[in-house]
Structure 1
Amino acid sequence: MSVDEERYEAFDDPYCYPNSEVLRNLADLRDEALLDSFEIEMTFLRSTEPLPEGNFDFEHYKAIHHHLFQDVYGWAGQCRTVRISKGGNAFCYPEHIDNQAAAVFRMLNRPAFQGQSNLSDFVAAAADFLAELNAIHCFRDGNGRSQLAFMYLVGQRAGFPFNFEGVQRDTFLPAMIASFNGDLTPLKSALAALCSDGF
C-alpha cells in the first residue's frame, strides 16, 4: 500500500521529462501509468529484501529510500532540490531540509524510542516523529513508503513492531493530512491499531 499516491505539485521541475509531469526514470518510461506500475513492482520486490541497517539517523533514512527506489530513479536516496506541495500544502523548502531533518531525527533519542516506555507513550512519540518527518518530505517521490519502512524499523527496535501490511489508505492518509495540520489524534489511533500488541 502506498501513502503517496496523490500527485505532487512542483515548481520548475527538472525531475520530469520536458513538457510532462512524468518523472524521469531509469527505465525511461514516458507513460505515467506504466511508470506507476513499474515503480510499484520494483519497490515491492525491494521491500521483500532486508532493509538497510544504520544508526536511525537521516543517513539511515536516505539509505532506505535508496534501497526501495534504486531500480526506478537515479536520484534515489537523495534529497529533492525543488519545492513541492500536495493539495495546496507546501512541504519544507529544499534549502532547509538538512537542518530540519537533523532536528527531527534527534527526536529518536527520546526514551520512548529506546524500549524504555509503554506502548501508549511509544505511539504518541511515533506519531509526533512521523508527522514532523512527513512535513519535511525529503524526497521528490516515495516519501510515504520510505516513512513506513523506516517506522517499521523504529517500532521493531523499541519492542513495539508495526504491522504495516494492515495500512488502509482511506484511514491512514487522512490521519497523515490531519497531522500536517497539527492534529495528531487520528495518527495516534492509526499507529496504535497497527502495533501488533495493540492497546
Structure 2
Amino acid sequence: MDKYGSGQDPYCYEGTSTLRNLLDIHDDKTLEAAERELTLLAAEAIQFSPPPYDLAYLQELHRQLFGDLYPWAGQIRTIDISKGETRFCNVQRVEPETHKLFSHLAQNDDFTNLKRNRLVTAIAELYGDLNVIHPFREGNGRAQRLLFEHIVINCGYEISWDGIDQQEWLDANIAAYYCDYGPMTAVFERSIGQPLDEVIT
C-alpha cells in the first residue's frame, strides 16, 4: 500500500501509518489483502453508466469500491498528500482542477467522435492529468481505472489491463506527472482494443 504524507495522518490510527477502517484492522498487510478482496468483489457489481462523467461520478465509483472498508469512501481528501518525490494537487485545488478536466471531456463529446489513434492519445493525457490531482486519500488508481473503462466503453471500444505490469504502470504515471505522456500512451495503445460493434458481430 502507498504511504502518504508525514507526521500524524488523521486518516490513520494514532502512531501508525495504517488507515482507519470499518473492519478495525490494524495490520498493513491484512488491510491490504482485505482491500484487494473487497474491491474486486465490489468492482464486479458495478455496472457501466453513460455520461456525464464528472467528479460526482468518480466519487460514486470510489464509494462503491471502498464503502465497505473506509468511512470516507467517495469523499474528497482533506489533507495534502505525496508519494516519494511526487506531491499531488493541493487539497484546495482538487475540486476546481478536477472540474476543469471533466469540462474538457464534456466539451469534446466525451471523446466519442475521435478516431482510435487520437482517442488513445487523448485518454492517456486525461488519465495522467487526473492522476496528478489524486482526489482521494487512498484508492485513486482503482477508482480512476474503472472510470476510464467506462469512458472508453462509451466511446465504443474494448478495454483491458491484461499484460500491463505494475512497474510499467508506475513508470507511465510518473512520466505523465512530468507531462511526458509517451509511456501512458503506450499503455493505452495496448489496453484499448477493438471497436465493440466488431466484437459483437
TM-score, scaled to structure 1: 0.91
| Alignment size in residue pairs | 194
One of 72, 75, 84 as aligned partner of 1:75 = 72
> What is the DSSP-based 3-state SS (H/G/I as helix, E as strand, rest coil) of the residue aligned with 1:196?
strand
Residue 11 of structure 1 and its aligned partner are, at CA, apart by 5.2
Alignment check: 8 A CA contact 1:8 1:85 kept: yes
Moved more, 143-152 or 115-124: 115-124
Matched, 1:180 2:174: no
Q: Spell out the pairing of 1:16-55 with structure 2 (5 A cutoff).
A: 16-51=12-47, 53=49, 55=52
TM-score (norm 2): 0.90
Question: Residue type of the partner of 1:29?
Answer: I
Q: Matches of 2:187 and 2:127 in 1, distance apart?
A: 12
| 3-state DSSP of counterpart to 2:158 | coil
CA RMSD of aligned residues (A): 1.7
The farther-off stretch of 89-98 and 24-33 is 89-98
Question: Structure 1 regions of 5+ residues with no counterpart?
Answer: none
2:89 pairs, out of 84, 89, 92, with 92
Amino acid at match of 2:23: A
Identical aligned residues as a percent: 30
1:131 is matched with 128
Following superposition, the deviation at residue 110 of structure 1 comes to 4.7
Partners of 1:93 and 1:103 in 2: how far apart?
A: 15
**10 and 49 in structure 1: CA distance in 2 versus 1, 3 angstrom threshold:** farther
> 2:52·2:106 contact (CA, 8 Å) conserved in 1?
no
Distance 2:119 2:28 in 1: 39
Structure 1 Cα separation of the partners of residues 115 and 183 of structure 2: 19
Structure 2 unaligned residues grouped into runs of 5+: 196-201
Higher relative contact order, structure no. (Cα contacts within 8 Å, ≥ 6 residues apart): 1
